[in-house]
Structure 1
């Protein structure tokens, strides 16, 4: 590959550590921007925030409880990470989400290290930018749940395995087993099968036809030692809880791990479910990934350099496709591999310049258009229009610049970066219709309300209210049930204002306001649309609630 002088300057920049460090610093700023401004989201984030609050309240960090009832669904490492952060920074949105953001950044850095190890400095640089701005990782980067911790320990396992295997280093091999144990302690023992399958398939592909070498590599893995390490770290909590709580624990834990894959009802195998997920999960580079599949099929002789990501993606795709329970977030742990499949196209000797420039221009143009519409639709400050304007100017210069191919490689990164700045700037305005912390302050600061008085909910369980009110919440209490409960008890209840006329006891109204009328905020696009409409005066997706109290 022959480069002109201008390309050499660009090449040297992307091959420098300084470029990687600077880009990582900018990524970190984006990830920390407004990450703590929103109340705890419903439903999943609420489970982890409240469970950690109850850990501090009880002083018991082994038994996991939510709303004062055992929660055996997931292993404890995510809870412990949140608890450690909260012990330092306080039990608040900042302390709860900080370890998640840090592990998201850690996953990005590990992807950089893998890319650098496999393809050199520029390989690490491009792997990092592809990983960092993938849509699905951005969606969960500050959400206190196991997806990001799982991604971090999963990627750490892969990184240390790759170093141990390629360098014949027992030290890194043992570290990979420790990381796998922590992966199991984060999400459950089925990931022994997933990660073990990736490692086994990679070794098989690399030694295909060389069966003696294959056996030597298997022996090198020191599997008995690895199984011992994984078992001690990953299964210690499971064994402890089974001894302590018996079959009750095991039934729930098994259902939430293997049961999801083997027993969950579905409408069929849905063989193309994760093909659909792959089409958007690493936007703005999803289309580039699909092109990379074609590229490596056409250049099969060079495909040995991507055997590791091929094994990684293939095993995950097959296992989760066969699994009956299908959730898009299961594919996030494949993001590093998707990036590693793409990167060699950017830096190899047979770079498909025209195809990549075309794909990246189309994606970037769509993102800039979407960003401009978003600024208008969300009624953001006119100053935000400078972002798409600047990107348009730079894109035009890129089109006119005949030797600007290397800039085209990162153009989707910058357009997605701008898009996220615009959207994340809207997050604080959402709190106008999320009064959960306000309700919590009213309850916890009122000295007339006994701390042991539960909150009665005339509806579904609003999952973050146990966290904010610091008490047990009882769901599905109709006005008649609230009246009956109030006959001999102090009563604290949250109910739709329309139902207040059915309450037959004297009470004080402590709060009145709007609450989202759908049971979950996890359908985030739908919730964002509802909030934006409410900010414009259309509150049909919200219902007026009142908080009442009888001493």
Structure 2
């Protein structure tokens, strides 16, 4: 009997030990899964679409489904040549499955970003071990730039997925010279061209040229570039849509897409999006929150960029994107994301070199401080704004309640507690802070900002839809209004008595006598009386 009891006890201990070991092994994977949920999917469809980009993509997708035209995109009844077709197709597919709402329109971006994170995990784990792989994936999932772009109903998350997959295979070809890596990279670039155009070829080609040259493999790079099979892949995957669009729209497509939205975007600021040569320095600081301190520590390793082929490749990738878009005429923060993937890996590889507590925890405390300060800043600066539109937008009192402020303060205290925790490794605490920051930004800040800026636009659209009002826009570019109204809303070039217009409160003085149908947060729906 005693022997039986001892055997049962030993068996129970063995099972407990095995279960505990399995749980320990699963912890990094569970951490990445939690990071993905908080960074990309938490409250994904709980706030209105942002204008201009989200509204434009979403309304163009709605019009695509309404027209039944899956080649040419239209926005408010006018041709839209801003981006190629793949994102619209994926949004249309998602809407067909889940319904025409914010969640369905943002889901392709969230899934693409999740694939982007998984690609980082697989690539880094193979080259630098499991711990570095999971760390790189965790950083990618909880970095502010990815959290923002991964929740946007736009093309950039999908493009970054294809850029990462292409660059990873280009690196594999650098070190192993297998044809399958070269051909697969062409597939990813072709899909990128179908997502956002020539930039999907430019970034991989130019960044890899620098890396291959520094590694003495220029001949191998040139061989890959001249690969007939690669160009055939590009033509087969991306060519049909470009050909069909040209056959339908002719020179207008060439002028609108290639010349205006690619060539002009580089040589001059488009739509007022300009900036100096140092534009992307503060952008990098913000996009990499809450890991900015870790990035600054990793940046000290830049002089050793030729230490290994991987170091060379990653630094050339980031530096090309940073320098190229610094000299480009049009500057937008998300352009730097095309070169942010290598930073996730570099920060993961150098995470244990971070020894300064304030360098580690200053950025997450800054990010949490911004979240906590959001309603107070609106309350202080809103009434002081000279422009009526911004004054009314920031002065809305019903956007952030007591529960929101309590939650933000509690998260701030948790981050502060992790920062002040004595005699504990920095990296696990920084990772914990990143999860809290992802929860705060995605669950609190983004919905609050959307409610301030876009909530009134959505309310006005739903009112106009319910009343079946024919509306035109006056000096107000908010395509999400058309999406929520589920009808094309043309621009008003001339005001006519009796028509209803959507405008901003700072444009009211130019309208003459009006009857206000809706006014909130600087958004005005009015009927022209004279």
Tell me the TM-score normalized by structure 1.
Answer: 0.77
**1:415, CA displacement in angstroms?**
4.7
Partner of residue 162, structure 2 = 153
Retained in 2: the 8 A contact 1:107–1:152?
yes
Retained in 1: the 8 A contact 2:147–2:442?
no
Partner of residue 104, structure 2 = 95
- 1:260/1:353 CA distance change after superposition, 3 Å: closer
Q: Higher mean Cα deviation, 265-274 or 233-242?
A: 265-274
Distance (whole Å) between structure 2 residues aligned to residue 425 and residue 269 of structure 1 = 25
**1:78, CA displacement in angstroms?**
1.2
Partner of residue 5, structure 1 = none
Partner of residue 487 from structure 2, selected from 457, 471, 484: 471
Retained in 2: the 8 A contact 1:203–1:214?
yes
**1:256, CA displacement in angstroms?**
0.1
Partner of residue 534, structure 1 = none
Q: How many residues align?
A: 480
- 1:424/1:324 CA distance change after superposition, 3 Å: closer
Partner of residue 122, structure 1 = 131
**1:322, CA displacement in angstroms?**
2.8
Correspondence 1:232-381 to 2 at 5 A: 232-254=236-258, 255-264=260-269, 270-297=276-303, 302-346=307-351, 352-355=353-356, 357-374=357-374, 378-381=400-403
Retained in 2: the 8 A contact 1:34–1:428?
no
Retained in 2: the 8 A contact 1:380–1:426?
no
Distance (whole Å) between structure 2 residues aligned to residue 432 and residue 372 of structure 1 = 18
**1:267, CA displacement in angstroms?**
11
SS of structure 2 residue aligned to 1:456? strand
Retained in 1: the 8 A contact 2:47–2:447?
no
Superposed CA deviations along residues 274-309 of structure 1, whole A, max 9, x for unmatched, are 233222221122232233222342x56745441121
Distance (whole Å) between structure 2 residues aligned to residue 215 and residue 500 of structure 1 = 65
Correspondence 1:4-23 to 2 at 5 A: 18-23=26-31
**1:325, CA displacement in angstroms?**
1.9
Query: 5+ residue gaps in structure 2?
Result: 1-19, 378-399
Distance (whole Å) between structure 2 residues aligned to residue 412 and residue 220 of structure 1 = 43
SS of structure 1 residue aligned to 2:276? coil
SS of structure 2 residue aligned to 1:410? helix
Partner of residue 71, structure 1 = 80
**1:70, CA displacement in angstroms?**
0.9
Partner of residue 89, structure 2 = 80
Distance (whole Å) between structure 1 residues aligned to residue 335 and residue 312 of structure 2 = 21
**1:53, CA displacement in angstroms?**
0.9
Distance (whole Å) between structure 1 residues aligned to residue 22 and residue 432 of structure 2 = 14
Distance (whole Å) between structure 1 residues aligned to residue 452 and residue 135 of structure 2 = 36
- 1:258/1:191 CA distance change after superposition, 3 Å: farther
SS of structure 1 residue aligned to 2:300? helix
Partner of residue 513, structure 2 = 502
Retained in 2: the 8 A contact 1:455–1:471?
no
Partner of residue 185, structure 1 = 194
- 1:190/1:363 CA distance change after superposition, 3 Å: closer
- 1:387/1:309 CA distance change after superposition, 3 Å: same
Retained in 1: the 8 A contact 2:207–2:316?
yes
Partner of residue 228, structure 2 = 224
Distance (whole Å) between structure 1 residues aligned to residue 363 and residue 164 of structure 2 = 27
Retained in 1: the 8 A contact 2:274–2:330?
no
Query: 5+ residue gaps in structure 1?
Result: 1-11, 208-212, 517-541
**1:22, CA displacement in angstroms?**
0.9
Distance (whole Å) between structure 2 residues aligned to residue 72 and residue 442 of structure 1 = 30
Partner of residue 437 from structure 2, selected from 404, 411, 416: 416
- 1:461/1:315 CA distance change after superposition, 3 Å: closer
**1:425, CA displacement in angstroms?**
7.5
**1:79, CA displacement in angstroms?**
0.9
Distance (whole Å) between structure 2 residues aligned to residue 461 and residue 322 of structure 1 = 28
**1:465, CA displacement in angstroms?**
2.1
Superposed CA deviations along residues 427-456 of structure 1, whole A, max 9, x for unmatched, are 39827972444444444445xx5xxx8423
Distance (whole Å) between structure 1 residues aligned to residue 66 and residue 215 of structure 2 = 52
- 1:332/1:13 CA distance change after superposition, 3 Å: farther
Partner of residue 385 from structure 1, selected from 377, 390, 409: 409
- 1:304/1:189 CA distance change after superposition, 3 Å: closer
Distance (whole Å) between structure 1 residues aligned to residue 511 and residue 273 of structure 2 = 42
Distance (whole Å) between structure 2 residues aligned to residue 76 and residue 114 of structure 1 = 28
Distance (whole Å) between structure 1 residues aligned to residue 191 and residue 183 of structure 2 = 13
**1:367, CA displacement in angstroms?**
4.1
**1:151, CA displacement in angstroms?**
1.1
Partner of residue 394 from structure 1, selected from 404, 408, 418: 418
SS of structure 2 residue aligned to 1:482? coil
Retained in 2: the 8 A contact 1:482–1:493?
no
Distance (whole Å) between structure 2 residues aligned to residue 437 and residue 547 of structure 1 = 18
Partner of residue 545, structure 1 = 525
Partner of residue 427, structure 1 = 448
Retained in 2: the 8 A contact 1:16–1:122?
no
- 1:420/1:443 CA distance change after superposition, 3 Å: closer
- 1:512/1:321 CA distance change after superposition, 3 Å: closer
Distance (whole Å) between structure 2 residues aligned to residue 300 and residue 429 of structure 1 = 41
